[in-house]
Amino acid sequence: MVIHGLLALIIGIGAFVTVAGFLLILYAAIVVTVGSRQEEKHRTFLRHRAPSGTAEQARLIAGRYVRQEVPEVAAEIPEEALPWYERSQGPRS
């Protein structure tokens, strides 16, 4: 009888951890989707302030502040020095 109760407790804890993990992943996916949409709408991803709390959480989840930003080598080279196939074509609509 005690073994059945212990087994039921272990299964219950495992089920709780599984459901909690699933809900956490679902929450993170929704926050990143909504937050990145707000960032794109307001074009603020490279700025220091996020447009909302949801976008701020999305930045934290996506690792915006974790990785160090290194300037691209091509950004330091003048446009005329690049070969024609590496030059920017400008914005396209």
pTM: 0.60
Residue 32 lies in a domain: yes
Q: What one-character DSSP code corresponds to residue 68?
A: P
Task: Residue 41: give the domain boundaries.
Answer: 24-66
Q: What is the pLDDT of residue 63?
A: 79
> In the chain, what is the greatest distance between 2 CA atoms, to the nearest angstrom?
81
Tens digit of each residue's pLDDT (9 = 90 or more) over 17-64? 999 999 999 999 999 999 989 988 888 877 778 889 898 899 888 876
Residue 62 lies in a domain: yes
C-beta contacts of 55-62 below 8 A and 24+ residues apart = 57/31, 58/31, 58/32, 58/34, 59/35, 61/28, 61/31, 61/32, 61/35, 62/32, 62/36
**Structural domains counted in the chain:** 1
Q: Are 58 and 34 in contact (CB under 8 A)?
A: yes
Q: Are 26 and 34 in contact (CB under 8 A)?
A: no
